[in-house]
Amino acid sequence: MIEIPAGTQPRTERVAIVLAELMALTATTKERRAGHLIPVPSRYWRSLIGSRYKDTLREALDRGYIEVNDRYSVGRFSKSYRLAQKYRHPKTVPYLCDNSRRCSRIRITDHDHVGRALVAQFSSVRLPGNPGGWDGYCASQIRRGAYYAVRCQYGRFHSSFTGLKREVRSTLTTVDGEPLVEIDVKNCQPLIVGILAARQHSAHRRHPHTPHTHPLYHMWRIQRRSDLPGLVRARPALRTPAAA
């Protein structure tokens, strides 16, 4: 069974899956809840609803359930979608799905070991209280064990938990009632690269550096101070890992 926006009456299971998917994607960020378009590559739709995904999307569009921005550039950005404003709300109705594989809400591939490790911890977390709105939608999925998880095209990990507001996430506990701690690692990738490079040099005993003396660390320091007047921003020539 899946949850689709209240007020919709899809004629086919594939359209229902599209609506459920867009609803889950909408819940992941406050911008999407406000109506920002969601980029979804064609291969994603193909894996979800099959080779005739274009017909399914056209049907959902013709019935006024979704809105589409048809602009795309191969290898750069995908077409983007959103629920029509009339249906972009957290109220849902159940839809009985015949194909259990298509109705699975975990979109993490087998080779994504980090993503799989995170998904494995979902059942160890509890959400007390009764939040409303979109947080209530996510809370309902969490309590029923109908977890959602996906990587966006930028590599970020989105789930039923990341879609919660910060004040709601702060109430999450373990199954034993122990409080959880949220750690923000935003914008620390250059420092992590510097530390790893320093450890690698030290391990091979070639020009040993500590994290605070490694050249990559100083690049990061200059980059972070680039807002100072007259200081030219230095960009490291090293490609940093994508944010999770």
- What's the angle, vertex CA 196, arms to CA 194 and CA 233, rounded to 5? 15
The set of residues, in sequence order, having a beta carbon less than 8 Å from that of 218 and lying 6+ positions away, is none
Measured CA to CA, the distance from residue 83 to residue 25 in angstroms comes to 10
The set of residues, in sequence order, having a beta carbon less than 8 Å from that of 166 and lying 6+ positions away, is 182
CA-based R_g, the chain, Å: 22
pLDDT in tens, 34-72: 999 999 888 889 988 889 999 999 999 999 999 999 887
pLDDT in tens, 177-235: 888 887 766 677 787 788 888 887 776 655 554 555 555 555 555 444 444 443 333 34
How many CA atoms does the CB half-sphere of 147 hold within 13 Å?
A: 21
- What's the angle, vertex CA 34, arms to CA 6 and CA 8, rounded to 5? 15
The set of residues, in sequence order, having a beta carbon less than 8 Å from that of 232 and lying 6+ positions away, is 226
- What's the angle, vertex CA 88, arms to CA 86 and CA 91, rounded to 5? 100
